[in-house]
Homo-oligomer: A and B are copies of this chain.
């Protein structure tokens, strides 16, 4: 039932390719409609018609309407998780996170325009802004575990969890200023954020 992300870049069979294409189409037309008319004002039957599938199929791919605005988030988090887990011993958690953000910004699967549109759509709707928090919570766990490894403490300890939460929040705020995200500039601001986090962590010790 789960999407079972294949590590290999190329797809498996014809069926899986078709499935991904359908999924991508639905998400794409949904994003376009959200951007033009707003999230609340767009109905699932509308999206279904635009994607040339039945409303029931839309719900089959995206159990919640909100998921249509976060179509790749699961795969992205899988990548983040792997990146944090497999990082070399001498690379710190924040450095690995910074590297992941860099590769995320340059991921060819999603165009810069699409990223901006998605960002705009999410910020325009309170529901979506709140829904996004679910993913933030998941990311917190991943980052907290990584920071805990750096500090040599259990992942449940307060410090790594606080640092992880603050880190993500800071990124969130940074994202607010980036309607027009340009990788190089974005990373510069990321570094500024990491300064804040490092300062906070050292103040705790």
Q: Which residues in A have some Cβ–Cβ distance to B below 8 Å?
A: 126, 129-134, 137, 158, 161-163, 165-166, 168-170, 172-174, 176-177, 192-193, 195-204
- The 7 tightest CB contacts between A and B, nearest first, are A199-B203, A200-B200, A133-B133, A196-B200, A169-B169, A166-B166, A165-B169
Contact pick for A165, options B130, B172, B201, CB 8 Å: B172
A158 to B174, CA, bound (A): 8
**Which of B162, B173, B198, B202 sits near A193, CB closer than 8 Å?**
B162
The answer to whether residues A203 and B193 also contact, given A129-B133, A133-B130, A158-B173 and a CB cut-off of 8 A, is: no
The reply to whether A195 and B204 contact each other, CB–CB distance below 8 Å, is: yes
Q: Which among B133, B168, B198, B203 is the interface contact of A195 at CB below 8 angstroms? A: B203
Question: Looking at A134, A166, A201, which has the most chain B CB atoms within 10 Å of its CB?
Answer: A166
Note all chain B residues with C-beta closer than 8 A to A168.
Answer: 169
CA distance A158 to B169 in the complex (A): 13
A162 to B199, CA, bound (A): 13
CB distance from A44 to the nearest CB of B (A): 19
Contact among B177, B195, B196, B202 for A166, CB-based, below 8 A: B196
